[in-house]
Amino acid sequence: MLIHIPNILSPEEVAYFRQRLEADKWVDGKITAGEQSAKAKLNLQIPQDSKVSRELGTLLLKALARSDIFTSAALPLRVFPPLFNRYDTGMKFDTHVDNAIRPDPETGFRIRTDVSSTLFLTEPEDYDGGELVIEDTYGTHQVKLPAGDLVLYPSTSLHSVSPVTRGSRWASFFWTQSMVKDDGMRSLLYEFDQSIRSARQLLPDDNRAILGFTSVYHNLVRRWAEL
């Protein structure tokens, strides 16, 4: 399941994020890569323990909490503290898969990476290349979104970032441990929830069909969720 979620951040919030990131120190992005991914990775990153990374990560988590679509699609149990990277001209990240388990260096707590997310912080016209390329059972998808928009996809997917040939691509990326770890189940629940939301635009909330659908949805979550 690949989902585009627009306007996670407003233009004003994107501008603030950019301003804070421009003033911070960037380091080699290999600091968060596994042994295999490090060989494929060529980018820059803000250290996770920097004051700016923590501040912006907290702001982004609050923005995610405002998004009904993110909550419906990810069914988050835990969200890894957001990280921030950039790809300048000539940089790329070859095809790889994300680590299944990631420890939070601050707390030592580990999360299972069920859902991967990339939040774009650069407008598409400001750079060439730099597409996020995601492979799934339906083929290969190239993703390049407006600043402030987010793409969410299963962490089991092979993916890459194509070489940047002009400009610089800035983004935030993070992982979510979902209450429902199976992507197929999670996709069904998302589609069911979106159908209920659409039906509620046509029928009153106390309609027996709406009540029945909502009951089934929550009972499925209750059956499949792991806390």
159 is in an annotated binding site: yes
Q: How far is CA 42 from CA 131, 160, 196, in A?
A: 14, 11, 43
Calculated CA dihedral for residues 171, 177, 181, 183, nearest 10 degrees: -10
96 is in an annotated binding site: yes
Which residues, at least 6 apart from 222, have a Cβ–Cβ distance to it below 8 Å? Answer: none
20 is in an annotated binding site: no
Nearest to 197 by CA among 213, 208, 185, 186: 213
Q: Is 220 helix (H, G, I), strand (E, B) or coil?
A: helix
Within 13 Å and on the Cβ side, how many CA atoms surround 31?
14
Q: How far is CA 110 from CA 36, 78, 79, 100, in A?
A: 20, 10, 11, 10
Question: What is the token pair recorded at 17?
Answer: 């994020």
Which residues, at least 6 apart from 87, have a Cβ–Cβ distance to it below 8 Å? Answer: 43, 44, 93, 130, 161, 164, 168, 169
Buried b (16+ CB within 10 A) or exposed e, 88-120: beebbbeebbbbeebeeeeeeeebbbbbbbbbb
Binding residues: 96, 98, 159, 169
Q: Residues annotated as binding site for Fe cation? A: 96, 98, 159
In the annotated binding site for 2-oxoglutarate, the residues are: 169
